[in-house]
Structure formats: structure tokens, C-alpha cells
Amino acid sequence: MREDTSNSGTTPGESTLAIHHGNTFAPDTGAVMPPIFTTATFSHGNPNGFDYTRSGNPNFRILESVLSSVENCSHTTVFASGVSAITAVASSLKSGDLVLCEENLYGCTVRLFEKIFSKFGIETAWLDFTDIDSLKQIREKNPTMIWIESPTNPLLKVLDIKAICKEANKNNIPVLVDNTFSTPLLQKPLELGATLSLTSTTKYINGHSDALGGAICTNDDEWQDRMNFAQKALGLHPSPFDSWLITRGIKTLPLRLERQINNAESIADQLAEHPLVKWVRYPFRSDHPQHKIALKQMKRGGAIITISINGDLKKTYEFCKNLRYFTLAESLGGVESLICHPATMTHASIKPELRLSLGIDDSLVRFSIGCEDLSDLTQDVNKALAKIK
Ligand SMILES: *Cc1c(COP(=O)(O)O)cnc(C)c1O
């Protein structure tokens, strides 16, 4: 279905792969950038086999081919959002199936399993996958599939993807890794043994906070068929315009990410020295609990930092509101810096006892570091901290 993007023997670098999308599906015009194919339907018998946009559109194909080459996999299916991608995978399960999940999954994934898919008999069990005992649990529970995320949101727990996949693969249990926080540039789950790599392209891949999207990457033909089926049968397809925006966005992903990570590394180290900061969590800092695993499976530490403020709910919230360049908002991964207070925002719907047991207390804040000048960001953080002294 997709054209071969490899050239004669040499593998292009990731920046090249992110920029060169191949077929524009507009060969008669010489357009360097693909147009937006805002059509619901296609005339029967066209050479590329398009029929109706719910089951395929040139803009989906273009984005899918770029994502496949950046992820270094054979198949990608794009969806309307990360949640649509999650829905696509979960909808391929049946009543009585058991999904063994990391206990610190993205909030909307938890909600989908607990409030929606549980109604259809899909069972879940929740585990702390940083616990060495979890490998034994895989053998004992023998689940239908395993669902993990690394680093996790918002505590940035790093799970040993390779070890988990190795154990699961012994019994042919597919492992899905939600790779949204790392992107394929920092971590390639399929190369670590996962069957499915899920990304909310809304975040780093698009990078401009102006479109929603999701994707599933795999090397497994059967899973690819299931994903294509879910895209059309459940109406989970994206819009051609959003696909076009995300295709444009991914071209600068390597550039953006490099800047964001440089900023993040520096800010994480500065925060760790601040008396009003209890602790800093950043995967590539040596005080991170799974630092060694992070070094082993990630190229760099990413651009999300989580800290605990030396103060109560009021002070912590005040700090968030005092910032000038960090907008208090959900989401992450865009060029603009954001700050999130999980207890009152992303994780507000989780019962307080459960939230606390997961380590998400009122003093926790999560930074998504953007592409602004480092000096402006550090000054901003220092000023906002000084105001709550
Ligand atoms: C945002 C996010 C999702 C959901 O993606 P949407 O595009 O918002 O639907 C899933 N997983 C993770 C880790 C996310 O950060």
C-alpha cells in the first residue's frame, strides 16, 4: 500500500525522513507540498484505490508513510486523536479478554477502559510495571494484551520495555506502548519488542497545538488490518486538513525536539537546586529512580519535567498562575511551554485516595518545555517561585 522510501542501500537520517513525504498524489501539478484533499468520495476505479474518505484519503496516506519511516516500521494507521487510536485497539478485543495495564496510564486511557470497554466485558488488571514482580504477574495472569506507557504521565516513571516485551513475547502476548511522551525519535517501542506503538500526534508530532491526531504503528499485518478496519468501521478517521497540518508539523519535529530537550535538561538541573522545590523528576537525571533504564532505551530524556513544590495546594496553584511564558493548560509537546497541575486538571477525575496512592499529590506540577529562549523560561520560573516564598 505504501511506496518504498528507502534509497539504494543507505538509510536516510531521521530529519530527512521527517521532511520527505514522497508521493503528493498531485503529480500533474508539480506541487512540492501536498494539497489538502477535501473530498468525501472518489470516483470508482481510480489508480490509488481510494473510495470514501472514512476508509482512506491521500492526506492520511502521506502522513502514514512519514510516520512509518520515522518509526521504522511497515504499517501506520492514522486516527482523529490519540483517544481514537486507543479506541481502535480496544475495540478489536472481545468480552472476557484481559488487558494488563500499567497503573499510571494516561487518564483518558483509564477512563475508556473503566467507563466504556468494561461495559462490553473487557477486563483490566493494573500493575506497577517498575516492580520486578510484574514479570511474574505476566506469566501468572496470562493476559490477552499488555498496555504500557513510558515515561508515564505525570510521574515520568520509566518502564523496561524490552524486559516486559521479552516476557510477553514468550507467550505471544502483544504489548502496546503509548509512545506519546518520547516520540519515535527518542524511543522506538517496536524495536524493543512491542507489537503496537501508539502516539497522540496532537502532542510532539504536530507540535503546534492546532490539531488533534493519533496513530498506531506496527510490523504485524494482522494488526494493521484490524486498525484499518477500526478506522472505517468505527469512523475514527482524522480530517484531511488535520492530517495535512500534522504532516507539516512533523517536518520540524527533530529541530523542535532538540531545542525543547536542551531547554528541559537545563531547567531540570536548575529546579533541582531551588529550595522551594522538593524534588525533580527527569529521566536523564541521575536521581531519577529508573535512570539506568532510561539511558538504555531512550536517546535523550525528553522535554517533560515533573516537580514537587515545597507548599500546599494553594501555593502550588499560585506558582502555576504566576508564570508568564508557561500557560496553565492541558496537553504537552507544543512549541509553547505549558504547565499542568495534575491534581486539579488531568487527574482530577481519579478518586483522591487512588490519586495519592499513585503519588499524584497537590504539590505536583508538570512542565512541558517549549522552544522559547532558555533565559526567558528560567527567569520566569525563578520569579514565579520567588513570589510564593
Ligand atoms: C494526549 C495523550 C493521549 C490522548 O491523545 P488525544 O490526541 O488527546 O486524544 C494518549 N496518551 C498520552 C500519553 C497522551 O499524552
| HEC readout, 119-183 | HHCCEEEEECCCCCCHHHHHHHHCCCEEEEECCCCCCCCCCCHHHHHHHHHHCCCCEEEECCCCH
Q: For position 293, which CATH number holds?
A: 3.90.1150.10
Q: How far is the CA of 95 from the centre of ligand 1 (A)?
A: 25
Which residue, of 217, 250, 283, is where some domain finishes?
A: 250
CB-based contact 184:154 (threshold 8 Å): no
Which residue is it, cell 495534575? 342
154-168, 233-247, 348-362: the lowest-pLDDT one: 348-362
On whether residue 291 sits in a domain, the answer given is: yes
Residue whose CA is closest, atom 5 of ligand 1? 82
Nearest-CA residue for ligand 1 atom 1 is 200
Q: Residue 103: is its pLDDT beyond 50?
A: yes
pLDDT at 351 over 90: no
Domain that residue 340 falls in: 254-388
What value does the mean pLDDT of the chain take? 95
Q: Within this chain, do residues 59 and 161 fall inside the same structural domain, yes or no?
A: yes
- 199 and 307 fall within a common domain: no
CATH number of the domain within which 33 lies: 3.40.640.10
Give the ligand 1 atom nearest the CA of 333: 15
Answer yes or no: do 81 and 218 share one domain.
yes
Residue nearest to atom 10 of ligand 1 (CA): 82
Domain count, the chain: 2
Write the DSSP symbol of residue 192. Answer: G
pLDDT the model gives residue 8: 52
Q: Which residues have C-beta within 8 Å of that of residue 335, sequence separation ≥ 6?
A: 207, 208, 209, 256, 370, 371
How many Cβ atoms sit within 10 Å of the Cβ of residue 32? 7
Q: Please give the pLDDT value at position 354.
A: 84
C-alpha cell at 373: 529562549
Concatenated DSSP letters of 224-288: HHHHHHHHHHTT----HHHHHHHHHHHTTHHHHHHHHHHHHHHHHHHHHT-TTEEEEE-TTSTTS
Report which protein residue has its CA nearest ligand 1's atom 15. Answer: 180
What is the whole-number distance in angstroms between the Cα of residue 83 and the centre of ligand 1? 6
Specify if 7 maps to a domain.
Answer: no
Q: How confident is the model at residue 83 (pLDDT cuts 50, 70, 90)?
A: very high
From 218, 250, 282, the end of a domain falls on 250
Domain identity same for 100 and 137:
yes
Q: Output the ligand 1 site: residues, CB below 6 A.
A: 81-83, 106, 108, 149, 153, 178, 180-181, 200, 202-203, 212, 214
DSSP single-letter state for residue 210: S
Closest atom of ligand 1 relative to the 212 alpha carbon: 7
The confidence score (pLDDT) of residue 9 equals: 64
**Pair (263, 241) in one structural domain:** no
Is residue 237 located within the same domain as residue 103? Answer: yes
State the average pLDDT over residues 250-267: 98
Out of 250, 274, 294, pick the residue that ends a domain: 250
Answer yes or no: is pLDDT of 3 > 80. Answer: no
Give the separation between CA 136 and CA 149, rounded to whole angstroms.
19
- Give me the mean pLDDT over the 272-301 stretch: 97
Nearest ligand 1 atom, CA 180: 13
Residue (of 191, 211, 203, 177) closest to 304 by Cα position: 203
| pLDDT over 90 percentage in the chain | 90
Report the separation in Å between the CA atom of 362 and the middle of ligand 1, taken as the mean of its atom positions: 22
Taking the C-alpha atoms of residue 30 and residue 296, their distance in angstroms, rounded to an integer, is 44
The continuous run of DSSP H or E covering 60 comes out as: helix 58-71
Average pLDDT over residues 1-14: 63
| 222 and 326 belong to one structural domain | no
Same-domain pairing of 340 and 215: no
Q: How far is the CA of 8 from the centre of ligand 1 (A)?
A: 37
pLDDT in tens, 218-240: 999 999 999 999 999 999 999 99
**Is residue 2 domain-resident?**
no
Q: How far apart are CA 352 and CA 40, in angstroms?
A: 45
**Can you tell me the distance from the alpha carbon of 312 to that of 361, in angstroms, rounded to the nearest whole number?**
9
Tell me the catalytic residues.
54, 106, 178, 203
